[in-house]
């Protein structure tokens, strides 16, 4: 087996290598070993560090490895100080969100696909306070979700009829939210305006409005109608593109905005007619 290289600090970013039409896997040099050599360029920063820097690691991995498998292998074999969050290992807890080669992703369900000469760059999610290395503090994110106060328990009796309400497919998609924060990281408005409540909380708000479960939706609509809320969204839809649970938060924001605009217009016209 080839000796794993020691981590080295990156001093200057290398120009991106042209993408080969059919990526050639980097094979391990050990005879009979079907593992591939993967190169990782990891964002590093401890709380005492003033700046983020990158460190390169190289190690053999099994063909079916995920990004999280490789990160944990780095921690086991090369650098036990690497900080990375994870829990369920199967894409349902939302803990392992990172940016891999600049794209928000759940590390535990993202295949590595190592390619010869390519170092996979892994960074923490954007838009949330970094803790160390690849881990971010999700407290602000959770506080925004709590503002919407999506009820976990119905306050009204469920209907006896077992018919699917109109639009159930959309509602089902929102139930899939795993609160991973990928949408917040990918959203260009969240990146430039920390006061923007963000796509996940607005999607939760749209969910409450669509199925109130006995709640007064007035406070949710008022929250969503504030200046730093639905009006700040620019319909870029990156949130929907990266969402691993098909929640489509971008569509939810647009639906909320339409609802609020419609109510405001209705009030205005009502006043004029009175």
Task: Choose between 91 and 212: whose C-beta lies nearer to ligand FES.
Answer: 91
End-to-end CA distance of the chain: 83
Q: What is the bridge-based pairing of β-strands 119-123 and 36-44?
A: parallel
Q: Is 177 in the site for ligand SF4 (CB under 6 A)?
A: yes
**Which of 202-215 are b and which e, b meaning 16 or more Cβ less than 10 Å from the residue's Cβ?**
bbbbbbbbbbeeeb
What is the gyration radius of the CA atoms in the chain, in angstroms?
23
Specify the stretch interacting with ligand SF4 by CB under 6 A; choose among 34-42, 117-125, 180-188, 219-227: 180-188
CB of 233 to ligand SF4, least distance (A): 13
Q: Is 130 in the site for ligand SF4 (CB under 6 A)?
A: no
Q: Does 189 bind ligand SF4 (CB under 6 A)?
A: no
The residue count of the chain comes to 274
* 183 scored as a contact of ligand SF4 (CB under 6 A): yes
Position 134 contacts ligand FES (CB under 6 A)? no
Binding residue (CB under 6 A) for ligand FES from 96, 204, 233, 239: 96
**Among ligand FES, ligand SF4, none, what binds residue 89 when CB lies within 5 to 8 Å by partner kind?**
ligand FES
Q: Which stretch binds ligand SF4 (CB under 6 A): 22-30, 173-181, 230-238, 265-273?
A: 173-181
Partners of 55 in the beta sheet?
A: 9, 42
The window from 9-17, 19-27, 64-72, 244-252 that contacts ligand SF4 (CB under 6 A) reads 244-252
Q: Which stretch binds ligand FES (CB under 6 A): 6-14, 52-60, 85-93, 196-204?
A: 85-93
Q: If binding is defined by CB under 6 A, does position 203 make contact with ligand SF4?
A: yes
Q: Does 148 contact ligand SF4 by CB under 6 A? A: no
Q: Which of residues 29-88 bind ligand SF4 (CB under 6 A)?
A: none
Cβ neighbours around 263 below 10 Å, total: 12
3-state secondary structure 63-108: CCCEHHHHHHHHHHHCCCCCCCCCCCCCCCCCCCEEEECCEEEEHH
Provide the 3-class DSSP secondary structure of residue 17.
Answer: coil
Residue 108 binding ligand SF4, by CB under 6 A? no
100 vs 40, 85, 105, 144, 146, CA distance in Å? 10, 14, 7, 25, 28
Closest CA relative to residue 198, chosen from 252, 134, 263, 264 = 252
Residue that is written with structure tokens 């200057």 in the block: 12
Q: How many residues bind ligand FES (CB under 6 A)?
A: 12
Which residues contribute to the site for ligand FES (CB under 6 A)? 86-89, 91-96, 106, 108
Which residues contribute to the site for ligand SF4 (CB under 6 A)? 94, 177-183, 199-200, 203, 243, 245, 247, 249
């Amino acid at each position: 087996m080839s000796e794993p290289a020691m981590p080295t600090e990156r001093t200057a970013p290398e120009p991106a290598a042209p993408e080969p039409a059919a990526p050639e896997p980097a094979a391990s040099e050990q005879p009979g070993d079907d593992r591939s050599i993967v190169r990782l360029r990891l964002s590093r920063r401890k709380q005492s560090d003033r700046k983020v820097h990158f460190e390169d690691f190289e190690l053999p991995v099994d063909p079916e490895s995920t990004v999280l498998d490789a990160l944990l292998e780095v921690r086991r074999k090369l650098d036990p100080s690497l900080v990375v969050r994870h829990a369920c290992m199967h894409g349902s807890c939302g803990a392992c969100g990172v940016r891999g080669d600049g794209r928000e992703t759940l590390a535990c369900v993202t295949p590595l696909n190592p390619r010869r000469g390519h170092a996979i760059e892994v960074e923490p999610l954007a838009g949330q306070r970094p803790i160390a290395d690849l881990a971010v503090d999700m407290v602000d994110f959770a506080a925004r979700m709590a503002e919407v106060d999506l009820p976990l328990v119905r306050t009204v009796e469920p209907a006896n009829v077992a018919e699917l309400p109109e639009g159930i497919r959309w509602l089902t998609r929102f139930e899939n939210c795993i609160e991973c924060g990928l949408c917040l990281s990918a959203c260009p408005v969240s990146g430039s305006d920390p006061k923007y409540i963000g796509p996940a909380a607005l999607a939760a708000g749209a969910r409450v409005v669509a199925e109130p479960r006995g709640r007064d939706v007035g406070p949710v609509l008022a929250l969503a109608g504030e200046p730093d809320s639905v009006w700040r969204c620019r319909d870029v839809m990156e949130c929907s593109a990266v969402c691993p649970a098909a929640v489509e938060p971008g569509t939810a924001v647009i639906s909320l905005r339409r609802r609020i605009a419609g109510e405001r217009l209705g009030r205005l016209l009502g006043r004029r007619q009175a």
